[in-house]
Amino acid sequence: MSALKLKKVSKYKNKEVKTTGSYAFPTYHMSGEASFYLSVITGTRNSGKTNTVINILNIEKDVMLTGDNIVYWVSGTKDAKVEHLLEQYPDNIKYYDEFNRKSMEGILDEIAERINTWKEHQFIFDIFEKYLKKENSIDEDELNILIESGMLDEDTDVKELIKQHNFHHPPISTLVVDDQLGSPLISGANSKDGKWFVKFIIKHRHEPHLCNVFILTQHYKMVSKPVRSNANNIIMFASKDAGIADSIFNEFSPLFKGSKENYHDALTLVEHTPHGFLNLWYDKHRWVRLCFDEEMQFASQ
């Protein structure tokens, strides 16, 4: 038993600071919290990485695949499962076959533009709400904004506009990067493009991005350390490479109570489970699961 003891020396506590005007983001089904995904999914070829991320998109479809929310899927190859997903959700998935600085800048510019458009609409609705409560409560500039927006036109279906608008938060984006280790964006943290991508990764859950990220890779250690360090979700299929396994343990050992024995027991279970994978979550909630539905519980050391 640990000899560590605590002695109370102060009345101060680390309380969460309350803010006004913050967005009410939805809770994700898999994690049970509202934190955006930064997921690294690692496994050999044909291990099931693409199938797994499609399963996650379906689990979270009421967030990622609905309304104004868009998935940006980047892959050099478009297999049948991805093609089927594109057919299912033509308004919510965009496919790109190039992954480089230029294509990523285009995606991020579009994401930022969609968020700015939402803010403009939200601003107009806020003015319109004031106008409905009391017509003379808005000034001339605000009235002109309503007129120019068409909100006061007789043929404008205001109820339909209100129905289509998400008043809780701006559009959420999701980026899926499928096996693109040839790109310095993923592997070259010290390159100019790699530093640019790391900057995006650090800010992915904040404006102007508000973006989930899934990186699928055959070689976990080839994903640059800054990207891996910011990940809150690791999904690992069985691997013959002991170095990969050790890297994941070293970076997420608290989930296994600091015990390599616990970790190796978990890997053994994955090895003996058809299509099995180790699923780690480390954010506000922290857990280890076999696939999606079975949580692993380890005794304290």
Q: What is the pLDDT of residues 94-146, one digit of tens each?
A: 999 999 999 999 999 999 999 999 999 999 999 998 888 888 888 899 899 99
166 in a structural domain: no
In a domain, residue 165? The reply is no
Residue 14, domain member (yes or no): no
Question: Strands of 294-295's sheet, edge to edge?
Answer: 93-96, 70-75, 173-178, 211-217, 38-42, 233-237, 277-282, 286-290, 294-295
pTM of the complete model = 0.90
Burial of 2 (0-12, 13-18, 19+ CB in 10 A): exposed
Q: What is the CA radius of gyration of the chain?
A: 23
**Number of folded domains that form the chain:** 1
Give the Cα separation of 296 and 301 in Å (integer): 15
Q: How confident is the model at residue 21 (pLDDT cuts 50, 70, 90)?
A: low
Distance CA 137, CA 122 (A): 18
Helix (H, G, I), strand (E, B) or coil at 265: helix
d(CA 211, CA 188): 22
Kindly state whether residue 249 falls inside one of the protein's structural domains. yes
CATH number of 84's domain: 3.40.50.300
Domain residue limits at 286: 38-94+172-295
Instruction: List Cα–Cα distances, 21 to 112, 164, 168, 223, in angstroms.
Output: 19, 21, 10, 36
